[in-house]
Amino acid sequence: MKTKYVLPRRRTSPLIWLVAVLCTVIAIAVIIAGIIVFVGYIVIRPRVPFISVIYTHLDVFDFDQAGLLTTQVTLQTKWENDNARAHASFYDAGFVLSLHGMEIAKLVADPFDVSKNSSVELGYTVASSSIPLNPS
């Protein structure tokens, strides 16, 4: 007759149980925080402010026999914030006007704010310095 040996059961260390419970609590807290952030995002519904050009006019376009081009441009832009719950701030806002890859003018605005559900119009009148063009 064979004798059966029964091994004693191992018990899980209380430290392992503590780590498991702690990880479970952290996971539940992360899930709850994610739900709160998602609900907050849906409630606020942020919209990205946008820029549109509403008016442009080429005032001067002079090309002389020496191959120098001189221009003057009037440009009106509209900065819109459709968000009803937050204002938008713009800083370092600038554009470069170019002709066939040659820089004609830089349009730069000082920092400004656009209130909730409103817009701001900025006008630029820019005269370029003489731009040398190649004959082709």
Q: Side chain identity at 126, as an amino acid letter?
A: V
How far apart CA 122 and CA 41 sit, in angstroms, is 31
**Residue 45 to residues 52, 88, 119, 120, 132, Cα–Cα distance (Å):** 22, 14, 18, 21, 50
**Residue 26: predicted pLDDT:** 98
Per-residue tokens: 8: 């004693």
pLDDT band at 130 (very low <50, low <70, confident <90, very high): confident
Closest to 86 (Cα-Cα) out of 52, 40, 122? 40
The alpha carbon of residue 9 and the mean position of all alpha carbons in its chain are separated, in whole angstroms, by: 60
Of 49-58, 71-80, 123-132, the one with minimum mean pLDDT is: 123-132
Is 88:114 a contact under the CB 8 Å cutoff?
A: yes
Instruction: Give the model confidence (pLDDT) of 11-70 as tens digits.
Output: 888 899 999 999 999 999 999 999 999 998 888 777 788 899 999 998 988 888 888 888
> What is the helix (H) or strand (E) element at residue 54, kind and residue range?
strand 50-63
DSSP single-letter state for residue 20:
H
How far apart CA 128 and CA 130 sit, in angstroms, is 6
**Residue 41: predicted pLDDT:** 84
